[in-house]
Structure 1
Amino acid sequence: MELIHAKQALTENGWENNVVVETSDGRIISVISGVSPKCTQVDLLLPASANLHSHAFQRAMAGLTETRGPNPRDTFWSWRHLMYRFLDRLTPDHVEAIAALVFMEMLEAGHAAVAEFHYLHHAVGGAAYADPAEMATRIVSAAQATGIGLTLLPVLYMHGGCDGRVLQGGQQRFGCGIDRFNALHEASSKHLKRGPSDFKIGVAPHSLRAVDPNSLGSVISLSDGPIHMHLAEQEAEVTEVETHLGARPTEWLLDAHDVDPSWCLIHCTQMTSAETEALARTGAVVGLSPITESNLGDGIFNGTQFFSAGGRFGIGSDSNVHIALFEELCTLDYSQRLRDRSRAAMAVPSRSAGRVLFESATRGGAQALARDSGRIAPGALADLIGVETGNEWICDRRGDTALDSLIFGGRGRDCIRDVWSAGRHVVKEGRHQARESITLQFRNVLAELGQDI
C-alpha cells in the first residue's frame, strides 16, 4: 500500500485540493481530502497517459534521417527506404536494449503504459527464429525491466502494396501469412503471461496496403483485445487504396467493417470532412503522433472538427524521434492554429486548451490500450504523474493554468518528479530507477550499429 498526498489533483470529479490517494495491488483504493505525514508528497497529481502507438526500434534512428538525398523533395517514402536498410542490422539483443531505453524515456515523460505496434518479427531475409515470438519476448522483457504497462500488438504485414506484391529487403522481417501470424500471436500471448496482470495483447493489421481485405477480416476475429491499424497517413497511400479498392481508406474501412470503440486508427491525417465526422461517430480512438507526423511531413489531422463531432483521440510517440508527452499535445494544438489561423484551438468555454488536450489524450489512450486507467478514481489502475510546481516554469499556478503551463511552456517534462505505472513507483525525483544501466546498454548498441545507415 502507498499513500500519496497532492496539494492539487485532477481527479475524476475535476480539480481537488489536499487530496490523499491510497493505492494497493496496482490500483487506486480511495481518493479523499486530508493530509498525512506518512504520504509521498507531490505538488500536482495527474492521471498518467498511455502511449498508444510506438515502434520502439526506430528510436535508434533518431537524428540519422535528417539529410536530403538527390531527390529535391524527400518524403515519408525516402525515410521509409532508409528505415528498411537499418533493419538489416538489428538483432534480438539490440531490440531489447533499444526498447528498454524507449520505455524508460516514456515513463520519464509521463507515459505509464505503451501500445507497442510490433512488426519486427523475423531474422534478416525473413527466416523464422526457433521461437516465432523471439522478438516479441524481447519487448515483453524490456517492459518488465522498466516497469511500464504494456499492450502488445503483433502486426500482420503481408504484402508490399495493395497490388499484393512480394515483400522485399527489410520488409521480409515483417512478413506473415495468416497461419504464420496465428502461431506468432499465440506464442506472443504465452510470453506475455509471465508479465504483470496489466500486460495485455491485441492485434494490428498493419494497413490496407499491407493486408488484403479477406485477411483483414481473419485477423480482426483472432483476438478480443484492441485492434490497431495505420489509416490514411499519406496522400500516396490514399491514391493507392482508392485505385485498388475503389474508395478512400477511411471510407472503405467504415463501409467494410463494423468499426467500434475497440479500434484505434493511427494517424488519419488524410481524411475528408465527411470521413472525419463518420469516424468520430464510431467511438473508435484516433491515434495521433504529432511530433512524428511533423517529422515525416504526413499532414495535419482534422482535430478541431473531429473533437467537435465527439471524436476520441490519444497520443503516441510512433518513431520515437522525440518522446515528450506535453510537446506532443502542444504540437497538436499548434497545428490546428497554424492551419486555421486561430488561438487556443482545442479550448472550450469550460476548459482550457491544455485541459481538453490532456484529459482527452489520457482517456483515449486508456481506451486504445484496453487499460483501466486515465483517471484518478477508486478502482482505476494507479497510473499517476507527480508534478513539481514550485519552479520558474509553473510558478505554483493552479488548475487549468498549471496544465497550460506544462503543455505550452515548453518545460513540462522538467517538472515531472514521480511516475507510477499500475502502482509501480518507477520514476522518482525525475529519473527512472534504472536509468544508468539502461542508458549504458543502449549506447553500447548504438556503438555496435554505427552511425551511417
Structure 2
Amino acid sequence: MRRLILEHALLPGGWARNVGLDIEGGTIAAVLPNASAEGRERVAGIALPGLPNLHSHTFQRGMAGLAETRGPEGDSFWTWRQVMYRFLGSLTPEDVEAIAAFAMMEMLEGGFTALAEFHYLHHDAQGRPYADIAELSGRIAAAAQETGIGLTLLPVFYAQGGFGGAAPVEGQRRFVTDPESYARLVEGARRAVAALDDAVIGIAPHSLRAVTPESLREAVALAGDGPVHIHIAEQVKEVEDCLAWSGQRPVAWLLDHTPVDRRWCLIHATHLDAKETKGIAASGAVAGLCPITEANLGDGIFEGVDYLSAQGRFGVGSDSNIEITAPGELRQFEYSQRLKHRARNVLAAHEGQSTGRSLYEKASSGGAQALGRRIGALAPGHRADLVVLDARHPDLAALSGDRWIDSYVFVTGKAAIDTVFVAGKPVVRSGRHVSRDAIQERYARAMARILA
C-alpha cells in the first residue's frame, strides 16, 4: 500500500484539499478528502488525473520536421505520406524501440499517462515478416516497460492500397497482412504485452480504404470486448473515393454496415455531414481527435460544436507526434472551433463553465473509454495515474480551482508539470522523466544513423 496526501486534487466531484490517496497494486483503493497527513507521503501541487492519449504512431516522432519543406503545388496529406514512406524504409527494430521510448517519455513529460498505440509497422524493409511476426509489437511493449506509460496496443490490419481492392504501393509493404497472418499478429501482440502491468490489446482496421468489407468483419471479430479503432473521413479525397466506391460517405457506410458501439474509436472523423455527426454520438463510440496533427496536415476542422451538442464523446491523441503536449491538444481543439465559429469559449457547455476543465474532464472520460481502461479519474478502482502541476509556477501561483486548469490548458501548458505518477509510481520529477538521459542518448544515436 502506498499512501499519499495530495495538497490539491481534481476529483470527480470537484476540487478538494489534503486528499488522502491509498494505492494498492497500482490501483486507487480509497480517496479521502481532508485527510490527516500523518503516515502519508506528501505531494505538493495541483493533482489532476492523467490524460489518456488515444492515438499515436510513435515511429513518426523520428520524422517530425522532415515534411515542412514545400513540395509541388497541392502539397497535402498525400504528399506528406510519401515523406513518411521514405523515412520508415530504413528503420530497424532497434530504431523502432528507441524512437517509441523517446516519444513515450515525452508523452509522460507532456501530461499523458496512458497510450493507445495505433501500430501498423509490422515487417522488415522489404515487406517480409520477422521470424516472430510480432517482433515490432514487442519493441513497442519494451518501450512502454522502460518508460512506465500505460499501454493499449492496437495492431493494425492493413490489407490493400485503396478502395475497391487497389494493390498496395511499395511504401506500404511494411504494413500489409491478410486476415490469417493478422490473426497471428494479434496473438503475438498479446504475448508481447503479457509482461506489462495492466496492458490492453485492441484491434485497428487501418481505414476503410485499407480493408475490404469482408476482411473488416474478420478483423473486428478478433476484438471480443476490447477496443476497436479506425482512421476515418480524415481527408476530402478519402470521402470522395468512398462515395465513388460505395455511394456513401465513410462514416455513413461504417455505421450502416458495422455494429459500431462503445468499443469503437473513430479517429479524425474530420469530414462529417449532420447525420454522420449525430450517428457517431448516438452509437456511443468515441471521436478520436488529434488537433495538432490535423492542423499540421491540413486535414480540416472537426464538427465539435454540433457533436458535443449531440452528447458525443471524444478524446485526444498526439498522432504524428510533431509536438507532444496533452494541454496543447485540448487548446488546439478549442481554438479550431473559435476560428470556425468566430467566437470564444465555444466548447464549454453553459455560461459560467470553465472551458479548460470541461475539455479536460471530457477528454479524460472519452480517452479512458477508447483505451478500454479504468483510468482518467482520481476515484477508487481506477489506476493511480496523476499529473501534478507546480502550484508555485508564476502562471498558477495567484490562482485557484478551475483557474488552475484554464491556465494549464490555455497559458502555461506542459511547462506547469512537476510530477507524474503512473500506477502510483513517480515517472516524472521536476518536469523530467526519471530515465530521460539514457532514453534521449539512445534516440539521438538512432536518429544520427537514420538521417546520415
TM norm structure 2? 0.97
CA distance in structure 2 between the aligned counterparts of 1:350 and 1:366, rounded to whole angstroms: 26
Deviations along 1:11-48, whole A, 9 cap, x unmatched? Answer: 01111122121212101111112241542322211100
The question of 1:405 aligning with 2:413 is answered no
Partner of 1:377: 379
1:3-402 alignment runs, 5 A limit: 3-32=3-32, 33-36=34-37, 38-69=40-71, 71-196=72-197, 198-224=198-224, 225-347=226-348, 348-349=350-351, 351-402=353-404
- Indicate if the aligned counterparts of 1:7 and 1:18 stay in contact, CA closer than 8 A: yes
**2:353 alignment partner, SS class:** coil
Aligned partner of 1:283: which letter? G
Find the aligned partners of 1:51 and 1:350 in 2 and give their Cα distance: 28
- The letter of the residue matching 2:126 is G
Q: CA deviation at 1:176?
A: 0.4
Query: Per-residue deviation at 1:414?
Result: 1.1
**8 Å contact from structure 2 (residues 66, 83) kept in 1:** no
Q: After superposition, what is the alpha-carbon deviation per residue over 1:76-123, rounded to whole angstroms, capped at 9, x for unaligned?
A: 000001101111110100000000001100011111110000000001
Letter in 1 for 2:347: M
- Which amino acid is the alignment partner of residue 4 of structure 1? L
Give the Cα–Cα distance (whole angstroms) in 2 for the partners of residues 135 and 371 of structure 1.
23
Secondary structure at the residue paired with 1:209? helix
Return the alpha-carbon distance in structure 2 between the equivalents of residues 165 and 251 of structure 1.
22
CA contact (8 A) 1:157 1:205 kept: yes
Q: Secondary structure at the match of 2:126?
A: helix
Deviation of 1:186 after TM superposition, in Å, equals 0.8
Counterparts of 1:17 and 1:281, CA distance in 2:
37
Give a deviation string over 1:277-298, Cα, whole Å, max 9, x none: 1111111001000000000000
Distance 2:381 2:229 in 1: 26
- Per-residue displacement from partner, 1:274-317 (whole Å, max 9, x unpaired)? 21111111110010000000000000001111111100000100
Q: Using the alignment, how far apart are the partners of 2:254 and 2:36 within structure 1? A: 52
Decide whether the 8 Å contact of 1:289 with 1:328 is kept in 2: yes
Residue type matched to 1:368 in 2?
Answer: A
Displacement, 1:190? 1.1
> Is residue 8–residue 398 contact of structure 1 (8 Å, CA) maintained in 2?
no
Note the residue ranges of structure 2 that are not aligned, 5 or more in a row: none
Contact 1:4 1:42 in 2 (8 A): no
Question: How many positions carry a matched residue from both structures?
Answer: 448
The one-character-per-residue Cα deviations of 1:201-236 (angstroms, maximum 9, x if unpaired) are 010000000011111111111122100000100000
> Is the 1:124–1:170 Cα contact (8 Å) retained in structure 2?
no
Give, as a single letter, the amino acid of the residue that structure 1 aligns with 2:416: C
CA deviation profile, 1:390-409 (whole Å, cap 9, x unmatched): 22111241111111000110
1:161-202, Cα deviation, whole Å (9 max, x unpaired): 002122122200000000010111111111111211x10101
SS at match of 1:390: coil
For 1:111 and 1:35, locate their aligned partners in 2 and report how far apart those are by CA, in whole Å. Answer: 29
Q: Which runs of 5+ in 1 are unaligned?
A: none
RMSD: 1.1
Residue type matched to 2:173 in 1?
Q
Letter in 1 for 2:49: P
Identity between Structure 1 and Structure 2 (%): 47
Q: Any conservation in 1 of the 2:53–2:112 contact (CA below 8 Å)?
A: yes
SS of the residue aligned with 1:125?
coil
3-state SS, counterpart of residue 176 of structure 2: coil
| Secondary structure, counterpart of 2:208 in structure 1 | coil
Aligned AA (2:437): E
Q: Which amino acid aligns with 1:222?
A: L
The ranges of structure 1 where at least 4 consecutive aligned residues each deviate by more than 6 angstroms after the TM superposition are none
1:412 deviates by 2.1
TM-score (norm 1): 0.97
Report the alpha carbon displacement of residue 350 of structure 1 after superposing the two structures with TM: 5.3
Secondary structure at the counterpart of residue 136 of structure 2 = helix
Greater alpha carbon shift after TM alignment, 390-399 vs 358-367: 390-399
